Homo-oligomer: A and B are copies of this chain.
Amino acid sequence: MADYAVIMAGGAGTRFWPASREARPKQLLPLAGGAGESLLAATVKRLAPLVPPERIYVVTAERLAEATIAALPDVPPAQILREPAPRNTAPCIAWATEVLLARDPDAVVAVLPSDHHIADEPSFRAVLERAYATAREGACTTVGIVPTRAETGFGYIELGDARGPHARAVARFVEKPDRARAEGYVAGGKHLWNAGMFFFRADVMRGLLATHLPAMAESTRAMVARGTAEAVAEVFPTLQSVSIDVGVMEQAKDLAVVPGSFGWSDVGSWQSAWELGAQDAAGNVLPAGAFTVDAARNYFANLGSGRAKHVAFVGVSDLVVVETDDAVLVVPRERAQDVKLVVEALKSAGRKDLL
């Protein structure tokens, strides 16, 4: 029973404008320091000691395929699955499940996001090993992050009884809570953040899909049996657009969760990029050699194609300045979420060149 990973890398992502664009979404950006390494490349790299690239699959959009292949030179290009149309997560997991079963009927699979950051990689891999082990026993398994703050932007997983040596049963999935409930969750110790990581035996997932999404299960099986790009182009766009959470997980009975604590971040905004960056003594995340006077907790990134820039921040604090070849954003860190206002305005104005 070999372990495999399927990395979900089809996201669009507008929260990192002007850096994130349709042709260069968040997972392809170097948002967590690390010498310009993209979040996607970092995801593959941190898996490698446990799951080598030969056993890693990546699901992405057709239009992102070339960039994704370029970002992951060690992953065999045939293992980059190209969605001809976005259909949410259930269809692409169903597809990957059939692809893996064709390769290895005993495959144990981790489905992982491509655009998160993990500070403590050894702990992360230890949690993954427990999750693979739990899934190997037959349970659909998720990883829950021990919350470090009363976050209202994430879904939560409520812990049930102990289930095997490393896991608990999932009592239920909880939608994004309000502030008061989120505070209760952190204090109570019975709720974990849902980080969108799923582990299962491929044959178990095939069974769950056949039960809960039978049309999808049948179609993807036939599509993979045909084994051609034409089959994917014909069949995939006809699949029901539904998330794996709604379509399968919330219907399934036997769900396990492995708690983890490994410096996880969903890298949700420029604020996160600042938190994850290499801060100087005043908390600035600026290019090497930057000049500062009375400047604290600022963030600057130049994702243009030109050479590095000498940066001078004088008398400003808590500011985000990001530029590309064709755009510049200036916003206080605490308003980093308002980037969406810019993106909405560009959409309204039909500025496809800037999206």
Contacts and interface: CB of A to CB of B under 8 A. Distances in A.
A343 to B, nearest CB: 9
B311 A325 contact: no
Interface in A314-355: 314-316, 319, 321, 323, 325-332, 335, 338-339, 341-342, 345-346, 351, 354
Contact of A321 (B18, B309, B321, B342): B321
A73 interface: no
Contacts of A330: 298, 300, 311-314, 316, 319, 321, 330
Contact of A300 (B291, B325, B328): B328
Contact of A354 (B310, B325, B327, B339): B310
Contacts of A331: 312-316
Contacts of A338: 293, 314-315
Nearest to A300: B328
Contact of A328 (B18, B312, B325): B312
A307 interface: yes
A306 interface: yes
A307 B354 CA distance: 13
A18 B315 contact: no
A325 B306 contact: yes
Nearest to A345: B291
Contacts of A17: 312
Given A18-B310, A327-B309, A335 B351 contact: no
A307 B326 contact: yes
A302 B327 CA distance: 10
B332 A315 contact: yes
Contacts of A293: 338, 341
A321 B313 contact: no
Interface string A262-298: 0000000000000000000000000000010100001
Interface in A1-60: 17-18
A74 to B, nearest CB: 34
Contacts of A302: 328
Contact of A323 (B309, B319, B354): B309
A16 to B, nearest CB: 13
Nearest to A315: B335
Nearest to A325: B306
Given A307-B326, A321-B330, 12 more contacts: A18-B310, A291-B345, A293-B338, A293-B341, A300-B330, A311-B327, A312-B331, A314-B332, A314-B339, A314-B341, A315-B331, A323-B328
Those 10 A-B pairs whose CB atoms lie nearest each other, nearest first = A314-B331, A315-B335, A310-B327, A312-B342, A312-B329, A313-B330, A314-B338, A311-B328, A315-B332, A309-B328
28 contacts: A17-B312, A291-B342, A293-B338, A300-B328, A300-B330, A307-B325, A307-B326, A309-B323, A309-B326, A310-B327, A310-B346, A310-B354, A311-B327, A311-B330, A312-B328, A312-B330, A313-B330, A314-B331, A314-B335, A314-B338, A314-B342, A315-B331, A315-B335, A316-B319, A316-B330, A316-B332, A321-B330, A330-B330
